[in-house]
Amino acid sequence: ADRLDGKHILVTAGPTHEPIDPVRYIANRSSGRQGFAIAEALSRLGARVTLVSGPVALATPAGVTRVDIETAQEMASAVATALPADAAVMVAAVGDWRAAPAAQKLKKGVTPPALQLTENPDILAVLAHSAQRPKLVIGFAAETEHVIAHATAKRTRKGADWILANDVSGDVMGGEANTIHLVTADGVERWERMPKVEVARRLAERIADALQQDTKA
Ligand code: C5P
pLDDT digits (tens, 9 = 90+) for 156-204: 999 999 999 988 877 767 678 888 999 999 999 999 999 999 999 999 9
Alpha helices (H) along the chain: 33-44, 72-82, 123-128, 147-158, 196-216
Q: Is 178 an annotated catalytic residue?
A: no
Q: Identify the pLDDT of residue 96.
A: 97
Question: Ligand 1: which residue has its CA nearest to atom 9?
Answer: 140
Question: Ligand 1: which residue has its CA nearest to atom 2?
Answer: 141
**Which residue type does 20 have?**
I
CB 185 within 8 Å of CB 152: no
Tens of pLDDT, residues 69-112: 999 999 999 999 999 999 999 999 999 999 999 999 999 999 99
Q: Is the peptide bond before 84 cis (omega within 30 degrees of 0)?
A: yes
Distance of CA 187 to the CA centre of its chain: 21
Examine the predicted complex and report whether its ipTM is higher than 0.90: yes
**Residue among 28, 120, 166, 178 flagged as catalytic:** 28
Closest CA to 196 of 126, 135, 140: 140
* 159 phi-psi bin (left φ>0, alpha ψ -120 to 50, beta other): left
Q: How far apart are CA 68 and CA 55, in angstroms?
A: 7
> Please, which residues bridge with residue 67 across strands?
52
Question: Ligand 1: which residue has its CA nearest to atom 17?
Answer: 122
CB 14 within 8 Å of CB 140: no
| Residue ranges lining ligand 1, Cβ < 6 Å | 12, 72, 90-92, 94, 120, 122-124, 139-141, 154
For the chain, the first-to-last Cα distance in angstroms comes to 20
